[in-house]
C-alpha cells in the first residue's frame, strides 16, 4: 500500500529523532595523540681529519654524539645543567646557531712541545626553556678532540647539578682510576666500560671504542666552578658528571662552565695531544723570560727530614747538582721549622733561616733553589704576601706548594689567587697534593708541574700503573712523578734500573724532580751519564709503541735535535720491537738496558722507520738516546 504524504512526514520525523538519539548515545571518538616532533640534529665538523660532533635535541633534551671516520666514539650522551631557578636539561627549544673558526699559535715553556698550533671549529647553539631562560652550548671540534661548555648569559641562581654524561659503546674498554682528592689512586684496566665497579672516577678516563681512543678530561677550571668527577652505576656504559661533594656552584651573574673534553683519535693522537691546553685561556703573564724549566735534584727521598733542616747537607746536594749541570735543587719540608721540630714553624723564620745563605751559595755555582711550603701558609692574603715577597727577595726561584687536597670551588678560588701572586713575585710553581693541570699551564706558564699522581715516594705503584700514566694523567699536563729513586726498595721496577731511568723521559714534567741519592747515581754511572744530558724542555713528543696498562715507549725531541726515549713494560721478560719513528735517514741509537752486572749501553745504527729490538727484564724497561748518524760517530753525547 502506498504511503500517504502526511504519513511519510511522520515516518521521516521519527527516523530523524531515532538517528539523533543513537548518535548522541555513541561515545565520542578519541582524538589521535599528537606525534612527537622528530629529533633535530646539527653536525659540527673540524679541520680535515677531525672527529664529528653531533648535537641533537630530542623531545626537548639535548645530547652529544661523537664519531670518527664513520665509527662511534661516543653514543648520544646527555647534556645540560640545573640551577636553582631553571632546568636546562629538558623541555628546551632551539633558537639559533653561529659558527666560527679558531686558529691560534702559542708557545709554552713546559709540556710535550714548546710551539703549539690550535685549529678548531666552534659552534654556539642557543636554547631556551619554556620560561624563556637562555642556555648556550659552546662546542669545539679539533683534529684531536671534541669539547663543550655551557654559557648562561643571565643569572639563574646557583648550579645544583650537571646533566652531562658520557655514554660509550657496549664494547668499549676502559682504563680508569677511582677519584680521590689528591688524584693519586692507581689506574685499572677493564675489558668493558660497563664492567667497572659502581663508584666515582677521575676526569682523566681513557676508553677504547670502535672509533678510536677517547680520553675524558676537562679544561679551564677556575674558581668560578668546582672540579668534576665521573660517576658510574654498575653494568652501565654511561659515566655521569658530578661536582665536588655535590655542593652547589655559587653563581653571581652570568656563568661560563669549564670545558668537558673528549680527546680522541688513535693511541698516538691521544697521547701526543695538547687539546686541554689549546682550549685554555691565553697566558696571563706577558714576560716569561724568568720561567725556566729543567731537571732538579730533589732532596726529600734522598735525605729525608734531616736534610730539610741542615744547611750543610743542602750545600752538598747543591754541589752534586752543579757537577751534573742540573739547574735546580729542591729543599723540602723542615727548612722553616724550629730546629728539631717537624711541625712547628719558627716564628722568626725570616731572620733565623739559613735559606738566604743557601741561595747565595747555590747561585754562585749556577744552581737555583726551590722550596717547599704547606699551602695553609698561603691562605691568608697578608701572610701569602709575606712569604712570597720574602722568598723573592732572597732569590728563591720556585715554590713547591703541598696538601691542597680539594677541588672545591673555594679551593679553586685559592688556586686563582695563588697563581696570580706567585706570578707577581716571579716564583715558578710545583703543586703537590693537588688537582691536575686542566689547561692551567697555558694560562699560567710559570706552573712547572703538578703532582696529582701517586709518584715515586708512594708504595702502591705497580708495573701496570707505570704503563698507564703516559696515556691518562700525563696526557693532560706535566706530572711530578719524581723518577730516578734507584735506592727505593718499593718501586715496581726494582729489578730494572733501565726501566727506572726511562721514566725520566717517559713522564713529562717542567721541573723533572730526580729523587735518587747521589750515592745511587754514582753507583750507576750509565744512569748518571744519561741524566746529566736531560734537556730543559721538549720540542716534540712521539708515541713509538704502547698498550695502556701494559707497555709504553715515548720519544721526546730536545732543542739540539737529539731524541730521548723511555720505555716501560708490565709482565714477563722479553724482547720488544720498537718502531723508530724519528724521521728519514740514518740514526745512531744508544740503548741503556739491564745486564747481569748492571746497566749496559749499546749503540745501534738504524734507518728512520726501522724496528729496533730491545731486551727488557720482567716489569722492566729501557732508556735510549738517538742522534743523527755520521761516519765515525760512536756516541750521542753532547
Q: Which residue has the cell 737529539?
A: 562
3-state secondary structure 404-449: CCCCCHHHHHHHHHHHHHHHHCCCEEEECCCCCCCCHHHHCCCEEE
d(CA 149, CA 621) in angstroms, rounded, equals 40
* 16, burial (CB in 10 Å: exposed 0-12, middle 13-18, buried 19+): exposed
List own/partner pairs for 245-249 with CB under 8 A and 24 or more apart.
245/408, 246/161, 247/408, 247/409, 248/84, 248/158, 248/159, 248/160, 249/158, 249/159, 249/225, 249/409
d(CA 632, CA 12) in angstroms, rounded, equals 122
Cβ within 8 Å of residue 461, ≥6 positions away: 186, 454, 490, 491, 492
The yes-or-no answer on residue 451 being catalytic is no
Calculate the dihedral angle through the C-alpha atoms of 398, 404, 409, 412, rounding to the nearest 10 degrees. 10
Helices 311-324 and 300-308 cross at an angle (nearest 10°) of: 150
Query: Where do the DSSP E strands lie in 375-529?
Result: 398-402, 428-431, 447-450, 511-514
Backbone φ and ψ of 586, nearest 5°: -90, 140
| 207 strand-pairing partners | 174, 214
Q: Which residue has the cell 678560588?
A: 413
Residue of 272, 385, 392, 457 with catalytic role: 457
The yes-or-no answer on residue 402 being catalytic is yes
Q: Are 391 and 427 in contact (CB under 8 A)?
A: yes
d(CA 363, CA 356) in angstroms, rounded, equals 11
Residue of 87, 402, 407, 497 with catalytic role: 402
Instruction: Give how far Cα 90 sits from Cα of 53, 55, 94, 305, Å.
Output: 20, 14, 12, 56
Cβ within 8 Å of residue 609, ≥6 positions away: 579, 580, 581, 584
Helix (H) or strand (E) holding 7: helix 5-25
Q: Which three cell numbers stand for residue 201?
A: 672516577
Q: Are 430 and 449 in contact (CB under 8 A)?
A: yes
Q: Catalytic site residues?
A: 402, 457
Amino acid at each position: 500500500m502506498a504511503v500517504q504524504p502526511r504519513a511519510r512526514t511522520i515516518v521521516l520525523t521519527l527516523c530523524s529523532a531515532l538517528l539523533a538519539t543513537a548518535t548522541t548515545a555513541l561515545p565520542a571518538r578519541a582524538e589521535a595523540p599528537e606525534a612527537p616532533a622528530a629529533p633535530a640534529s646539527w653536525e659540527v665538523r673540524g679541520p680535515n681529519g677531525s672527529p664529528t660532533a653531533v648535537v641533537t635535541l630530542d623531545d626537548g633534551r639535548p645530547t652529544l654524539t661523537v664519531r670518527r671516520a664513520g665509527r662511534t666514539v661516543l653514543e648520544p650522551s646527555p647534556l645540560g645543567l640545573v640551577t636553582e631557578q631553571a632546568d636546562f636539561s629538558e623541555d628546551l627549544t632551539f633558537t639559533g646557531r653561529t659558527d666560527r673558526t679558531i686558529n691560534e699559535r702559542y708557545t709554552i715553556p713546559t709540556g710535550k712541545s714548546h710551539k703549539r698550533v690550535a685549529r678548531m671549529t666552534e659552534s654556539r647553539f642557543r636554547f631556551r626553556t619554556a620560561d624563556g631562560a637562555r642556555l648556550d652550548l659552546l662546542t669545539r671540534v679539533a683534529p684531536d678532540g671534541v669539547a663543550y661548555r655551557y654559557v648562561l648569559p643571565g643569572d639563574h641562581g646557583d648550579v645544583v647539578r650537571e646533566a652531562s654524561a658520557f655514554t660509550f659503546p657496549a664494547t668499549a674498554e676502559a682504563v680508569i682510576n677511582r677519584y680521590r682528592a689528591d688524584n693519586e689512586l692507581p689506574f685499572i684496566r677493564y675489558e668493558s666500560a660497563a664492567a667497572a665497579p659502581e663508584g666515582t672516577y677521575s676526569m682523566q678516563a681513557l676508553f677504547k671504542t670502535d672509533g678510536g681512543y677517547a680520553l675524558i678530561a676537562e679544561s679551564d677550571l677556575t674558581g668560578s666552578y668546582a672540579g668534576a668527577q665521573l660517576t658510574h652505576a654498575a653494568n652501565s656504559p654511561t659515566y655521569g658528571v658530578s661536582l665536588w661533594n655535590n655542593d652547589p656552584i655559587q653563581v653571581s651573574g652570568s656563568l661560563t662552565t669549564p670545558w668537558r673534553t673528549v680527546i680522541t683519535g688513535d693511541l698516538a693522537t691521544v697521547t701526543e695531544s695538547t687539546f686541554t691546553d689549546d682550549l685554555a685561556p691565553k697566558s696571563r703573564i706577558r714576560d716569561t723570560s724568568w720561567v725556566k724549566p729543567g731537571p732538579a735534584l730533589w732532596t726529600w727521598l734522598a735525605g729525608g727530614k734531616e736534610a730539610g733542616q741542615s744547611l750543610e747537607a743542602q750545600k752538598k746536594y747543591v754541589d752534586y747538582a752543579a757537577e751534573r749541570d742540573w739547574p735546580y735543587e729542591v729543599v723540602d719540608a723542615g727548612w722553616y721549622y724550629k730546629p728539631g721540630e717537624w711541625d712547628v714553624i719558627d716564628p722568626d723564620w725570616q731572620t733565623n733561616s739559613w735559606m738566604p745563605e743557601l741561595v747565595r751559595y747555590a747561585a754562585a755555582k749556577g744552581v737555583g733553589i726551590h722550596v717547599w711550603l704547606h699551602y695553609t701558609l698561603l691562605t691568608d692574603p697578608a701572610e701569602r704576601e709575606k712569604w712570597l715577597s720574602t722568598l723573592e727577595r732572597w732569590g728563591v726561584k720556585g715554590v713547591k706548594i703541598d696538601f691542597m687536597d680539594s677541588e672545591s670551588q673555594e679551593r679553586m678560588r685559592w688556586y686563582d689567587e695563588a697563581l696570580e701572586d706567585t706570578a707577581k713575585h716571579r716564583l715558578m710553581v710545583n703543586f703537590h697534593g693537588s688537582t691536575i693541570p686542566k689547561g692551567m699551564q697555558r694560562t699560567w706558564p710559570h706552573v712547572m708541574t703538578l703532582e696529582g699522581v701517586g709518584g715515586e715516594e708512594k708504595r702502591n705503584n705497580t708495573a701496570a700503573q707505570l704503563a698507564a700514566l703516559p696515556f691518562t694523567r700525563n696526557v693532560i699536563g706535566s706530572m711530578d712523578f719524581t723518577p730516578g729513586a734507584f735506592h727505593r726498595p718499593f718501586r715496581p721496577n726494582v729489578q730494572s734500573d733501565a726501566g727506572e731511568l726511562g721514566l725520566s723521559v717517559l713522564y713529562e714534567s717542567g721541573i723533572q724532580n730526580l729523587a735518587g741519592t747521589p750515592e745511587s747515581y754514582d753507583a750507576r754511572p750509565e744512569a748518571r751519564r744519561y741524566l746529566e744530558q736531560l734537556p730543559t724542555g721538549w720540542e716534540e713528543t712521539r708515541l713509538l709503541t704502547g698498550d695502556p696498562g701494559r707497555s709504553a715507549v715515548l720519544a721526546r725531541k730536545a732543542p739540539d735535535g737529539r731524541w730521548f726515549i723511555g720505555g716501560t713494560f708490565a709482565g714477563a721478560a722479553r724482547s720488544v720491537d720498537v718502531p723508530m719513528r724519528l724521521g728519514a735517514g740514518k740514526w745512531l741509537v744508544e740503548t741503556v738496558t739491564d745486564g747481569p752486572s748492571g746497566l749496559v749501553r749499546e749503540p745501534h745504527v738504524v734507518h728512520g722507520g726501522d724496528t729496533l729490538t730491545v731486551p727488557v727484564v720482567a716489569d722492566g724497561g729501557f732508556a735510549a738516546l738517538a742522534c743523527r748518524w755520521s761516519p765515525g760517530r760512536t756516541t750521542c753525547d753532547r
